[in-house]
Structure 1
Amino acid sequence: MSRKKALITGITGQDGSYLAEFLLSMGYEVVGMMRRSSTVGFERISHIQDSITLVSGDLLDEVSMMSILREHRPTEVYNLAAQSFVQTSWGQPVLTGETTALGVTRLLDAIRMVDPEIRFYQASSSEMFGKVREVPQTELTPFYPRSPYGVAKVYGHWITVNYRESYGIYGCSGILFNHESPRRGLEFVTRKISYGAAKIALNLADSLALGNLDAKRDWGYAVDYVKAMWMMLQQDSPDDYVIATGETHSVREFCQLAFAALDLDWERYVKLDERFFRPAEVDLLVGDPSKAKSGLNWQSTTSFPELVEMMVRSDYAALKREIG
């Protein structure tokens, strides 16, 4: 029997790198699609680069995706590529729509035309819930997105459902709540905090500018969450699942734990900056992972304090190596 082969779009990102590691450990051949650009960051996948196949493609170009599917014949496709930063989506709403929304349609259509037997995973987001209609949020909670990113993710989610119901595509959407790790991009508030606290502890900075400290999120560990993606595509029938911890914590709590891990009082260093407030804020997100627990036998294994400390320790160690 031939090995399973997976195509991961967005393989150089946090989730893509962890998913590639996991699939390699499961015996998969892994093909990673990445955009050809002037600045390509391989740091998250450098340690596995010799074990994977990297190909050039773009969610804006359906022909490139059809070519990749024809040449590499994956059995599973994980669509993790997107314009994935909420703050950026306000300044680049059209690009966000082209990649994060219509890009999903292009990829699904490529699958429909090249090999409709491919199993497809779509990275949906808790940002689709936005101004939440109920607490906690489940698979049946109505969406009310509060950013161009959230709106685009709603489109990507529903077009996946549409292709599943219209063409019989095995398409699943994972409605993932916030998931972090030491590989999180520096533009995200969690990594900004862990990195900022480490810089202050090493006397490389004297303050950290943040926006809304009262925003509450359901934060989990990315390594736990990519396993859920794979689990969804192993089921007899495709379905959508909320992946979350079921707990909510504020940005303020994240600051307290991060600075405390380095024996610092966060209130001495954190400064509010209006530039980092969103035009329309999402105040509270907390997911109900009951369906994933019962249907996939999945659950989060990393606590919030463990996650925060892991990120802070990683940034502190990396910065210390840099400065010698």
Structure 2
Amino acid sequence: MTKRAFITGITGQDGSYLTELLLAKGYEVHGLVRRASTLNRSRIDHIQDSNLHLHYGDLTDGVSLVNLIRDIVPHEVYNLGAQSHVKVSFEVPEYTADADATGTLRLLEAIRAAKIDCRFYQASTSEMFGATPPPQDETTVFYPRSPYGAAKLYSHWVTVNYREAYDLFAVSGILFNHESPRRGESFVTRKITLGVAAIKLGLTDTLTLGNLDAIRDWGFAKEYVEGMWRMLQHDTPQDYVLATGIGTTVREFCEYSFAHAGLNWEDHVAYDKGYERPTEVDALIGDPSKAKSVLGWEAQTHAKGLAELMVDSDIELLRTHGSARY
């Protein structure tokens, strides 16, 4: 039997890597795409596979979700779609709640209404921990510090509720920061590596950043989607933290990135208070022990190696195309 998977957020970083993984495993993959005046499918344009099918719809439109779940009858649903930029969530809090929180509820209701045997993955986030000191694991108290974190916390708990109330195989993957060359350029890691590439190639001389002291647990997105898939293959639905277990400051990520290009970060990085959030999350460092012991999943790429592979990719990208694709 060919398994069918439905992915929201298929055109994003995680969605593109997950699509490649599932197609390689023989899945028929269906993806949710928002209609826009310009196409934004650059992360999946390279995938030419007859088992990949894209459908117009939106997490803010419950009717589209009901119709798609009914027609596709997926065996697995991966809810990766979201307004995922933390600072932007302060500027568009209502939309963030509608897409990230209520959107998950709409999708769960579509699955329940269809009465299908389906396994559901919710993309939770370390931002739900917010102000709670590290290390953070599946039992750590949540304390979100942004509209994004609060919306994701609703999604997390409503997923738990549907698992317990309706016996749905529903899990939340609490993923700590995971990056790649496919990361959007407004996210700090990609902003850094693109900046390094531009400076190395003589296109600019300065990179402007906000809080350099924030500590994050950065891993490689391509490895994390394997963890998502493993969660849905387990016999029982459980929630898991995926992380490297290692904290790195934004300053250290800068050091790794600039050093890899033969540059001194202090010669090029400028500070702008405008990039700081209204409420900051000081430190997020995950404890992935459960994922390792139960799923056999362990991060292989840590911050330094991640910075280096992203810098190499962005130097080649700018040298070849002159601009970022994502």
Contact 1:195–1:312 (Cα < 8 Å) also in 2? yes
- 1:120 corresponds in structure 2 to 120
Structure 1 residue 38 displacement after superposition: 1.7
In 1, Cα distance between equivalents of 2:279 and 2:27: 42
- 1:103 corresponds in structure 2 to 103
Contact 1:220–1:245 (Cα < 8 Å) also in 2? yes
SS in 1 for 2:283: coil
What's the TM-score, normalizing by structure 1? Answer: 0.98
Structure 1 residue 115 displacement after superposition: 2.9
What's the TM-score, normalizing by structure 2? Answer: 0.97
- 2:180 corresponds in structure 1 to 181
Deviation string 1:87-138 (CA, Å, 9 cap, x unpaired) is 1100000000000000000000000010342100000000000001x42101
In 2, Cα distance between equivalents of 1:148 and 1:305: 30
Contact 2:214–2:250 (Cα < 8 Å) also in 1? yes
SS in 1 for 2:297: coil
Q: 2:10 matched to 1:3?
A: no
In 2, Cα distance between equivalents of 1:116 and 1:136: 38
- 1:279 corresponds in structure 2 to 278
Structure 1 residue 322 displacement after superposition: 2.4
- 2:129 corresponds in structure 1 to 129
In 2, Cα distance between equivalents of 1:112 and 1:267: 54
In 2, Cα distance between equivalents of 1:296 and 1:50: 29
Q: 2:292 matched to 1:293?
A: yes
Deviation string 1:47-85 (CA, Å, 9 cap, x unpaired) is 114441000111111111111111111100000000011
Structure 1 residue runs without a partner (length 5+): none
> What's the C-alpha RMSD, in Å, of the aligned pairs?
1.1
Q: 1:268 corresponds to which letter in structure 2?
A: D
In 2, Cα distance between equivalents of 1:192 and 1:3: 40
In 2, Cα distance between equivalents of 1:207 and 1:309: 19
In 2, Cα distance between equivalents of 1:116 and 1:108: 11
Deviation string 1:125-169 (CA, Å, 9 cap, x unpaired) is 00000001x421010101000000000000000000000000111
Q: 1:114 corresponds to which letter in structure 2?
A: A
- 2:163 corresponds in structure 1 to 164
In 1, Cα distance between equivalents of 2:63 and 2:115: 14
Q: 1:1-324 to 2 correspondence within 5 Å?
A: 2-51=1-50, 52-132=52-132, 134-323=133-322
Q: 1:160 corresponds to which letter in structure 2?
A: T
Contact 2:73–2:116 (Cα < 8 Å) also in 1? no
Deviation string 1:225-269 (CA, Å, 9 cap, x unpaired) is 000000000011101000000000000000001001110000010
CA shift in 2, pair 1:116/1:166, >3 Å: farther
In 2, Cα distance between equivalents of 1:270 and 1:298: 36
Q: Percent identity?
A: 57
In 1, Cα distance between equivalents of 2:26 and 2:198: 39
Q: 1:315 corresponds to which letter in structure 2?
A: D
In 2, Cα distance between equivalents of 1:312 and 1:115: 47
Q: 2:130 corresponds to which letter in structure 1?
A: G
In 1, Cα distance between equivalents of 2:115 and 2:267: 57
Contact 1:213–1:252 (Cα < 8 Å) also in 2? yes
Structure 2 residue runs without a partner (length 5+): none
How many residues were matched structurally? 322
Deviation string 1:292-317 (CA, Å, 9 cap, x unpaired) is 00110100011321111000000000
CA shift in 2, pair 1:82/1:323, >3 Å: closer
Contact 1:59–1:107 (Cα < 8 Å) also in 2? yes
In 1, Cα distance between equivalents of 2:176 and 2:228: 13
In 1, Cα distance between equivalents of 2:150 and 2:41: 29
In 1, Cα distance between equivalents of 2:321 and 2:28: 34
SS in 2 for 1:313: helix
In 1, Cα distance between equivalents of 2:288 and 2:2: 31
Structure 1 residue 185 displacement after superposition: 0.2
Contact 1:116–1:169 (Cα < 8 Å) also in 2? no
Structure 1 residue 42 displacement after superposition: 1.1
